[in-house]
């Protein structure tokens, strides 16, 4: 088997991304180039991602991102061997834009086209970055997703549990807005929490009283809102200290819940398979140092290895999409021009 070059395209949320990954189908690979164009400023005034604005920005940025990824890789399109594109799940306007561009490139060049599940891209990233062996346990924690998976091979994912309402990143973003911090809320809360007292507000740890790996974050957000309103009712407003204490109390609640549910996911995995698994994380929330350290503590206690890919490959990017196409190639056929964009596409 020899190395091939895959062009990856990703546009399912608010990042327009293109990348070139080089490697052996089903084997090791390296990231040759990876371009990510964010849209944070475009959505800032609206307090969330506006699908129509996102789709238009993808249309504007997709072609230039692909061109930049090729330039950075020092390759011509004629030196690419296949195209991997996110075909879902995600905001449909963005996914359609990426799929249309990929089909156009495929039609013009004859290159095989692989529609990739965005979540498979995240879930396979630890193999790209750290060569983690199958099977492993994956915690996906982003603005849009929250689930535990057993990754058995490049095409087989078993879901152990997930959020029954909001994703944790979404909760970070909403709580940031509630306590007067900027977007994206995750990094803002993490910074603000540094000066805070995580024990000042006793916030709930949702679903810890129920067995299993399902999670919930919407009640925690509401409880944070009530704690905020309690302070405002007493003092007429929030001081910087109140903000920090609210941020710290919220953050430690999320970290506790993710750590305890990770412990359960690992234990239920170990009941089926005595070999020590690796716990891998991906998604923007995995950037949070308190959350990472809570997960690391659980892994140390269970003698389990912990792997968190570098942030630029943990958050949305196209290298993971190119890599997922490469990893799945031995198990599947290329897609035809009937490849459709899927807003919902469970793994």
**Contacts to ligand KG4 by CB under 6 A:** 13, 142-144, 169-170, 172-173, 184-187, 190, 283-285, 287-288, 315-316
The span from the CA of 334 to the CA of 96, in Å, is 18
The span from the CA of 85 to the CA of 96, in Å, is 10
Q: Do residues 11 and 17 lie in contact, with contact meaning Cβ atoms separated by under 8 Å?
A: yes
Is 143 known to sit in a ligand binding site? Answer: yes
Residue nearest to Zn ion (CB): 316
Quick note: the x/- pattern for Zn ion over 205-224, rule CB under 5 A, is --------------------
Quick note: the x/- pattern for Zn ion over 139-168, rule CB under 5 A, is ---x--------------------------
Instruction: State which residue, 244 or 288, has the beta carbon closest to ligand KG4.
Output: 288
Report if residue 10 touches Zn ion, rule: CB under 5 A. Answer: no
Among 10, 14, 316, 335, binds Zn ion (CB under 5 A): 316
Pull the structure tokens for residue 22: 């080089």
Instruction: State which residue, 170 or 214, has the beta carbon closest to ligand KG4.
Output: 170
Instruction: State which residue, 98 or 284, has the beta carbon closest to ligand KG4.
Output: 284
Find all residues with CB under 8 Å of 139, minimum gap 6, and list them.
147, 148, 258, 262, 265, 279, 280, 281, 282, 286, 295
Where helices occur in 236-310 by DSSP H, the ranges are 240-272, 289-301
Q: For the CB of residue 189, give the shortest distance to ligand KG4 in the complex, in Å.
A: 6
Q: Are strands 4-10 and 15-23 parallel, antiparallel or unpaired?
A: antiparallel
Output 155-159 pairs: Cβ under 8 A, ≥24 positions apart.
155/120, 155/328, 155/331, 155/332, 157/119, 157/120, 157/123, 157/347, 159/346, 159/347
- Map residue 107 onto helix, strand or coil: helix
Residue nearest to ligand KG4 (CB): 186
Find all residues with CB under 8 Å of 316, minimum gap 6, and list them.
10, 12, 13, 14, 15, 17, 36, 118, 142, 284
Is 216 known to sit in a ligand binding site? Answer: no
Instruction: State which residue, 23 or 88, has the beta carbon closest to ligand KG4.
Output: 88
Q: Do residues 75 and 43 lie in contact, with contact meaning Cβ atoms separated by under 8 Å?
A: no
The span from the CA of 75 to the CA of 67, in Å, is 10
Stretch that binds Zn ion, among 99-107, 134-142, 225-233, 328-336 (CB under 5 A): 134-142
Q: For the CB of residue 144, give the shortest distance to ligand KG4 in the complex, in Å.
A: 4
Q: Which does 11 bind (CB under 5 to 8 A by kind): Zn ion, ligand KG4, none?
A: none
Residue list 245-304, contact with Zn ion (CB under 5 A): none
Q: Look up tokens 């390759």; give the residue.
A: 75
Q: Do residues 160 and 268 lie in contact, with contact meaning Cβ atoms separated by under 8 Å?
A: yes
Q: Which does 126 bind (CB under 5 to 8 A by kind): ligand KG4, Zn ion, none?
A: none
Is 214 known to sit in a ligand binding site? Answer: no
The span from the CA of 100 to the CA of 239, in Å, is 50
Q: Which does 269 bind (CB under 5 to 8 A by kind): Zn ion, ligand KG4, none?
A: none
Instruction: State which residue, 181 or 322, has the beta carbon closest to ligand KG4.
Output: 181
Q: For the CB of residue 281, give the shortest distance to Zn ion in the complex, in Å.
A: 12
Chain residues that interact with Zn ion, rule: CB under 5 A: 142, 316
Which residues are annotated as part of the binding site? Answer: 118, 122, 140-144, 173, 186, 190, 288, 316
Which residues are annotated as part of the binding site for substrate? Answer: 140-144, 173, 186, 190, 288
């Amino acid at each position: 088997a020899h190395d091939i070059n895959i062009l990856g395209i990703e546009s399912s949320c608010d990042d327009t991304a293109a990348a070139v990954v080089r490697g052996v189908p089903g084997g090791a690979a390296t990231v040759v180039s990876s371009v990510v164009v964010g849209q944070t400023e475009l959505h800032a005034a609206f307090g969330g991602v506006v699908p129509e604005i996102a789709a238009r920005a993808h249309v504007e940025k997709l072609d230039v991102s692909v061109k930049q990824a090729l330039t950075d890789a020092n390759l011509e399109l004629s030196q690419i061997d296949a195209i991997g594109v996110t075909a879902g799940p995600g905001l449909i306007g963005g996914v359609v834009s990426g799929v249309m561009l990929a089909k156009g490139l495929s039609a013009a060049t004859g290159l095989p086209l692989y529609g990739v599940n965005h979540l498979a891209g995240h879930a396979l990233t630890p193999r790209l970055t750290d060569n983690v062996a199958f099977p492993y346990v994956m915690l996906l924690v982003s603005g849009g997703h929250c689930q535990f998976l057993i990754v058995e091979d490049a095409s087989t994912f078993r879901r152990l549990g997930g959020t029954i309402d909001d994703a944790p990143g979404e909760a970070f973003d909403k709580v940031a807005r509630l306590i007067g911090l900027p977007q994206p809320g995750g990094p803002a809360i993490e910074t603000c929490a540094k000066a805070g007292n995580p024990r000042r507000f006793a916030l709930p740890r949702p679903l810890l009283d129920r067995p299993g790996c399902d999670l919930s974050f919407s009640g925690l957000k509401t409880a944070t809102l009530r704690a905020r309103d309690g302070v405002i009712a007493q003092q007429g407003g929030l001081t910087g200290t109140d903000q920090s204490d609210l941020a710290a109390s919220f953050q430690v609640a999320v970290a506790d819940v993710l750590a305890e549910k990770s412990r359960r996911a690992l234990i239920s995995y170990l009941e089926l398979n005595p070999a020590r698994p690796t716990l891998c994380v991906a998604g923007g929330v995995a950037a949070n140092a308190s959350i990472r350290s809570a997960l690391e503590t659980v892994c140390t206690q269970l003698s389990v290895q912990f792997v968190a890919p570098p942030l630029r490959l943990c958050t949305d990017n196209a290298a993971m999409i190119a890599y997922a196409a490469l990893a799945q190639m031995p198990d599947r056929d290329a897609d035809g021009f009937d490849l459709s964009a899927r807003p919902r596409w469970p793994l």
